[in-house]
Amino acid sequence: MKRALITGITGQDGSYLTELLLAKGYTIYGIVRRSSSLTRTRLEHIYGARHFEREKLYLEYGDMTDGSSLRTIITRVAPDEIYNLAAQSHVRVSFDTPEYTVDVADVGTLRLLEAARDYQKQAGKTVRYYQASSSEMFGSTPPPQSETTPFHPRSPYAIAKVAGYWHTVNYREAYGMHCSNGILFNHESERRGENFVTRKITLAAGRIKVGLQKELYLGNLDAKRDWGYAKDYVEAMWLMLQEDKPDDYVVATGESRSIREFLDASFGLLGLNWQDYVKIDQFYMRPSEVDFLLGNATKAQEKLGWRPKVSFSEMVKIMTEYDLDLAERELHAKKFSRS
């Protein structure tokens, strides 16, 4: 049975990838960093459970800023596949913490690749490596964006991801390692972090609907994104590592919509007019913005046979209904605590 090592296992994609690989019979080792409160809510249904899957998921303390921890874990775990999903992944926050963002996503990637290379040499076995690259790397280059589109990154986060992309290509070319980049366009879900725009909108729509919130503060509503469903996207990661030859792939839906269109879709489902609630706050504007992302995933479709299964409107419905349910439960808990 295969063994996979996942960095960023506690994040949105890490949790879906864990479910996918467990279903395929993998044993999984996830790297978690120390924090003052546990950040494992997305894994609780697996890690907290006393059933078969619990036996095949192990969490190891480590950090992308600590090369010695990465080396120790790789040697102990002896993985067949490594999925590098860890990052300070919030673009606006990367302007506030540029050095840390680069340390995790750029130098951290290099640390992990070096540890994997050393392990390969010592163990004499091939490790397959997946790098979570991003459509943010295209930045201001006009759409549609594909594997051959030049990068023009517009944030410390995107610059760190460009470096991580090239480290990955370089380990493939210099050392013949099986290293692949997934250039994933935005993908969302009911497990999306609460300060990314889609989840911020669906959470607010639910809370406004039940009367728990009156306003929603946002930044630039004109930016356009190619939004897909996260569960579909982790499948593309796995498919890349099953190929005989490592390569780089764009993963996207081929459709792009503005923040206004996302607002229309989510608030509209709950019979609300978003214009009555949304206010603009300069705080959420970025020093330099990425205006228009639209991916061309022809290569992933043709070589990997990958296609998105969940449409934009289905995804908005899943997220909006999930967050309405959360809001209703919050309201119920408040009423109950007063009675």
Q: Is 64 one of the binding residues for ligand NAP (CB under 6 A)? A: yes
44 a catalytic residue = no
- Whether residue 243 lies in the annotated active site: no
Residues 82/4, Cβ–Cβ less than 8 Å: yes
7 bridge partner residues: 31, 84
- What element of type H or E holds 207? helix 197-209
Q: Does 193 bind ligand NAP (CB under 6 A)?
A: yes
Among 18, 89, 180, 296, binds ligand NAP (CB under 6 A): 89
Rg (CA), the chain: 20
From the number of C-beta atoms within 10 Å of its C-beta (0-12, 13-18, 19+), residue 97 rates as middle
Among 20, 60, 65, 301, indicate the residue that binds ligand NAP (CB under 6 A).
65
Choose, by CB under 6 A, the member of 17, 32, 259, 270 that binds ligand GDD. 259
Q: For residues 308 and 311, what is the distance between their CA atoms, to the nearest angstrom?
A: 7
The site partner of 39 among ligand GDD, ligand NAP, none (C-beta below 5 to 8 Å per kind) is ligand NAP
Q: Residue 217, SS3?
A: strand
From the list ligand GDD, ligand NAP, none, which binds 11 (C-beta under 5 to 8 Å, kind-based)? ligand NAP
One-letter identity of residue 28:
I
Residue 172 vs 192, nearer CB to ligand NAP: 192
- 3-class DSSP state of 278: strand
**338: which residues sit within 8 A by CB, 6+ positions away?**
none
What mask, x for binding ligand NAP by CB under 6 A, covers residues 226 to 265? ----------------------------------------
Note if 136 is an active site residue. Answer: yes
Q: Is 86 in the site for ligand NAP (CB under 6 A)?
A: yes
CA distances from 32 to 8, 45, 111 (A): 7, 17, 16
**Residue 304 contacts ligand NAP per CB under 6 A:** no
Q: How far apart are CA 332 and CA 252, in angstroms?
A: 38
Among the listed residues 81, 136, 188, 190, the single catalytic one is 136
Among residues 284, 299, 303, 330, the one that binds ligand GDD under rule CB under 6 A: 284
What does the DSSP assignment read for 306-326? ----S-HHHHHHHHHHHHHHH
Q: Residue with structure tokens 């306003």?
A: 215
Amino acid letter for position 323:
D
Our CB check for ligand NAP shows the closer of 209 and 225 to be 225
CA-to-CA separations, 212 to 90, 202, 215, 324, in angstroms, rounded: 26, 13, 10, 11
Kindly state whether residue 225 participates in binding ligand GDD, applying the rule CB under 6 A. Answer: yes
218 binds, among ligand NAP, ligand GDD, none (CB under 5 to 8 A by kind): ligand GDD
Active site residues: 134, 136, 157
**Contact set with ligand NAP (CB under 6 A):** 7-14, 31, 33, 35, 39, 63-65, 85-89, 104, 132, 134, 184, 186-187, 193
**Contact set with ligand GDD (CB under 6 A):** 89, 91-92, 134-136, 185-186, 195-197, 200, 218-220, 223, 225, 259, 284, 286, 289, 293
